[in-house]
């Protein structure tokens, strides 16, 4: 990431979802320290966690001023995503894999 910072990038996103969530927390904290407070920082779990795990992750990342937490759980679990947000206040990005189609009749 140092190279991206040196090149002037203003936003970065990393994948999270290590077997031990503490590894994600440590890596995210180190990256926030490198980025400083003014660059946008997002994390993406690729819907790898249960709702309860995502709540725990969001709480563990809360002090890092994330722009958003992307797909912390299955994106079409709207009730679960609402639970995550309600429990943590974390902004969520969901649904990049949801598709809407129309048919002409």
Q: What is the pLDDT of residues 38-68, one digit of tens each?
A: 999 999 999 999 999 999 999 999 999 999 9
Give the pLDDT confidence score for residue 99 in this predicted structure.
56
Q: Is 31 helix (H, G, I), strand (E, B) or coil?
A: helix
Residue 18 lies in a domain: yes
Domain count, the chain: 1
Instruction: List the domain range (segments joined by +) for residue 44.
Output: 11-73
Residue 19 lies in a domain: yes
73: which residues sit within 8 A by CB, 6+ positions away? Answer: 45, 47, 49, 50, 51, 53, 54, 80, 81, 84
Give the pLDDT confidence score for residue 105 in this predicted structure.
52
- Token readout for 15 is 């994948």
Residue 96 lies in a domain: no
Residue 46 lies in a domain: yes
Q: Does residue 77 have a pLDDT over 70? A: yes
98: which residues sit within 8 A by CB, 6+ positions away? Answer: 75, 76
Mean pLDDT taken over the chain: 91
Give the pLDDT confidence score for residue 67 in this predicted structure.
96
Residue 55 lies in a domain: yes
Work out the widest C-alpha separation in the chain, in whole angstroms: 55
Residue 44 lies in a domain: yes
Q: Where are the alpha helices (DSSP H) in 62-99?
A: 78-88
Nearest of 17, 8, 9 to residue 69 by alpha carbon: 17
Give the pLDDT confidence score for residue 102 in this predicted structure.
64
Give the pLDDT confidence score for residue 75 in this predicted structure.
84
In which element (H, E) is residue 41 found?
strand 40-44
């Amino acid at each position: 990431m140092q190279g991206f910072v040196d090149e002037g990038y203003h936003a970065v996103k990393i994948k999270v979802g290590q077997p031990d969530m503490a590894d994600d927390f440590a890596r995210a904290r180190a990256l926030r320290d490198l980025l400083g407070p003014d660059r946008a920082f997002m994390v993406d779990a690729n819907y790898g966690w249960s709702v309860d795990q995502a709540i725990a992750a969001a709480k563990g990342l809360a002090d890092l001023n994330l722009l958003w937490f992307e797909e912390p759980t299955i994106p079409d679990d709207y009730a679960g995503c609402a639970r995550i947000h309600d429990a943590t206040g974390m902004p969520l990005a969901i649904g990049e894999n949801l598709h809407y189609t129309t048919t002409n009749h």
